[in-house]
Amino acid sequence: MDLIVEILIAFFLVVSGVFGLVGSFGMIKLRDTLQRLHAPTKATTLGVGGVLIASMLYFLVIKGSFSFHELLITLFLFLTAPITANFIAKTFMQAHTRDEDLPPTGREYGWSLYDDPPNQTDY
């Protein structure tokens, strides 16, 4: 029983290590900032997730106590990662992307970085 769980824990640790490595490799390999943004937000999610599952299994089966911390780390990670990515993307686009590079919205108002919002009274 313990052996099976230990194999599982080792498996999750290896999986997370591989994905963490691939995510970091992507940072070097991909060409521009927006492409590089994809590597850490994706590949690393599973990297961290694997470590957290392994840690939960370890505490649950080997130590015999349930730990909520991993669930909270997952929750906070899912709340913060998209916001960080969004900030980085916007800051990059502010300096390097022009309105013409983007697809049109197809409506009267353009993308928020280049176009003013409708007046509040319009609502």
Partner 1 sequence: MLNRLFPHPLMTFTLTAVWLGLVNKVTPGNLLLGVILGIIVPIVTSVYWPNRPRLRRPLMVAEYGLVVLWDIIVANIQVAAIILFKRNADIHSRWINVPLDLTSPEAITALAGTITMTPGTVSTMLASDGRSILVHCLHTDDPDGVRDDIKTRYEARLKEIFQ
Binding of partner 1 at residue 22 (CB under 8 A)?
yes
Whether 117 and 111 have beta carbons less than 8 Å apart is answered as no
Identify the burial level of 44 via C-beta atoms within 10 angstroms of its C-beta, where 0-12 means exposed, 13-18 middle and 19 or more buried: buried
Binding of partner 1 at residue 45 (CB under 8 A)?
yes
Work out which of 10, 25, 60, 96 binds partner 1, going by CB under 8 A: 25
CB of 30 to partner 1, least distance (A): 7
Per-residue binding string, partner 1, 62-101, x by CB under 8 A, is: -----xxx-xx--x--xx-xxx-xx--xx--x-------x
- Check residue 64 and give left, alpha or beta (phi > 0: left; psi -120 to 50: alpha): left
Work out which of 43, 53, 54, 56 binds partner 1, going by CB under 8 A: 43
